[in-house]
Chains A and B, each alone.
Chain A
Amino acid sequence: MNILKGLTILSLLSVTLACKESGYKLENTLTPDKLLTIPIDNSTINNSFATQFFAENFFAMYNAKMNSIQIYDINSSKLIRNIKLYKEGDNQTSGYGINFFYFKSNDSVAVISTNPTYIYLLNSKDSLIKKIDYSTIYGQNLKLLTLPDLGHQPQLIGNKLYLLHTIGGSFDKNFKLTQDNINRTKTTYSVDLNTDSGKLYDFTYPKEFINDKCLLGINVLYTLGENNLHVYKFTYENFIFTTYDHKTFKKYELSTSNKNFPYRDLSYSMDMYKSMKTIIESNEYVHLIYDKNKNIYYLFVRKSLKCDSNTDIKTEARFPRCSILVLNTKFSLIGVVDLEDNRFNVRISFVNKEGLFISEGHPSNSNFNEDQLSFRLFKLEKI
């Protein structure tokens, strides 16, 4: 009897130790809930590279064709404001190239233009308050801003707007990280919207990436966590870096069992098909969202797909098949959810007090409707 009791305790102890060793318990899941639908007009398609959810209730989306920003009220599912932007003239409020935006509130929006390199500040009447030329702010190696889709959204702390620049656009073809050029990979800078001053921060690609391989194709995901913690996650490898001041950093390694993040050589990136094929055939981290209500992070992972002659490579590249890793504030894995293939457009997702909303605007979705935005709510639940 005593031996049996001893064996039981021993086995329980070993199970506990095994759990501790793995570093996480998957006690949570994301359960699909209601569908939120918002009708859109004929000039709007249900996809955009620039979106933002703000002030608890508003979803804003850039309409590239119309060069406008549309704001929808989530509660009423109605368009409540359409900010027409102008590419020229005295009232110029946008650039000729890529434009994206950040809403400080419903009364104040910063339109960020890549060409010319201006930030246009608009008031509640869509009028220009001022424009800031940020080309003088950031260094010669930082040529282009990173587009805000998939984990590159601008963030605001006080009056400072934090932006990421495009690594690929700044590097030479076949750029390889070395001890000598690592400072060329500083990823973040801020623009003070009050004083127009800017600052480039000392956060570079990690030394672990120094090797003889081309760095193109490896991006950094960025978000703000609790108490304005800057959180960086590279699309390759399992490292997460955090900092409050960009002087001292903490490094975490994701405690996921999935180590299958093969290095992607995109040095032949001028061959678009080959590049896209390489991308979709490998796992990569593609999106990072912080949920302030639950104090957790959602980390989206592209699931690799073996291509064949029937694979729609372009669609697969634009609409990644994803799993979501749910992480706590110590970046330990507390849940994993596999999203249904060909149903979601993870580029458009946001969080409110109800949970995580992910667009169902995948063109292969059997319920795809061009005339509406549709979001599936996912609620965090204990298993």
Chain B
Amino acid sequence: MKIGNILLFVALILSSCHKDEKSERLNKFLKEYDNSMNNNIQVMIFIPLEGVCISCLDRILYFSKEHLGDERVLFVLSTRYKKIVASYFSENELTNKNIIHDNRLLSQKLQLVNTAPSIYLLKNKTVIKTYDLSIKEFTMDYDQLFNNSSMKGRKVMKELRIKNEGNEGEEELRMKE
């Protein structure tokens, strides 16, 4: 029993360390881009625009278009290529304050994102949950993105989920592009 308690305690310590470590990496990233995290940010979405699973990308880009200008969300576009960013977002869209163009691929170096988009849910500047939007993970409950408060968010995600059906199979290959 005692050993069980100790193990539980250690596990709790480790899990809390893990969360802090993620938050630290997020803050390090933001600091590098001279962008401090404000309390309003509830969601950070990292979108790798090169070497990425294209199907995963389509869905999250659709979502991002719906939420440009939403100060609760911070989008990070990770690619060295200006042309790739320009092919997805207009100049006007890129003037939104909630978009960072991570042209140094810092988010990837810090392992905040890999070959599929990733979502970080935040509370008081601390990471409370993360999602890796690879194809198999795309059954997440998107209502959580905005603390169940956004009907619009829910609707978009529901549409995305429907749109997503039947696209499996070619993901591994698409990532090589």
Contacts and interface: CB of A to CB of B under 8 A. Distances in A.
Interface of A: 42-45, 49, 64-65, 96-98, 114-115, 144, 147, 149, 166, 168-169, 272-273, 310-315, 318, 363, 370
A97 B81 CA distance: 23
Given A312-B108, A314-B51, A273 B114 contact: yes
A151 to B, nearest CB: 14
Contact of B105 (A49, A98, A312): A312
A305 to B, nearest CB: 14
Given A64-B54, A97-B170, A314-B108, 16 more contacts: A43-B87, A44-B83, A45-B84, A49-B177, A64-B177, A65-B87, A96-B170, A97-B169, A98-B176, A147-B173, A272-B114, A273-B111, A312-B105, A314-B114, A315-B105, A370-B81
Contacts of B20: none
B11 interface: no
Contact of A42 (B80, B86, B105, B174): B86
Give the dominant DSSP class at A's interface: loop
26 contacts: A43-B87, A45-B81, A45-B83, A49-B176, A64-B54, A65-B87, A97-B170, A98-B173, A98-B174, A98-B176, A98-B177, A114-B170, A115-B169, A144-B173, A166-B173, A168-B172, A169-B172, A272-B114, A272-B115, A311-B109, A313-B109, A314-B51, A314-B105, A314-B114, A314-B115, A370-B82
Interface in B30-89: 51, 54, 80-84, 86-87
Contacts of A43: 83, 87
Contacts of A44: 83
The number of chain B residues touching the other chain, given as a range, is: 20 to 34
B102 to A, nearest CB: 12
Contact of A312 (B86, B109, B169, B172): B109
The 8 closest A-B pairs by CB, nearest first: A97-B170, A363-B80, A98-B173, A314-B108, A64-B177, A272-B114, A115-B170, A312-B109
Nearest to B111: A273
Given A42-B86, A45-B84, A363-B80, A97 B173 contact: yes
Contacts of B170: 96-98, 114-115
A235 to B, nearest CB: 15
Most buried by B among A44, A314, A370: A314
Contacts of A318: 51
A34 B26 CA distance: 44
Contacts of B176: 49, 98, 147, 149
A353 B109 CA distance: 41
Interface centre among B86, B115, B177 (most CB of A within 10 A): B177
A201 B4 CA distance: 58
A318 B81 CA distance: 15
A12 B169 CA distance: 63
A306 B86 CA distance: 34
B113 to A, nearest CB: 10
A144 B51 CA distance: 19
Contacts of A42: 83, 86
Contact of B108 (A97, A313, A370): A313
A97 B174 contact: yes
Contacts of B86: 42
A241 B97 CA distance: 57
A312 B83 CA distance: 21
Contacts of A166: 173
B21 to A, nearest CB: 13
A114 to B, nearest CB: 6
Contacts of B81: 45, 363, 370
Nearest to A370: B83
A313 B48 CA distance: 14
A168 B172 CA distance: 10
A171 to B, nearest CB: 12
Nearest to B177: A64
Interface string B107-124: 011010011000000000
Contacts of A363: 80-81
Contacts of A114: 170, 173
Contacts of B108: 312-315
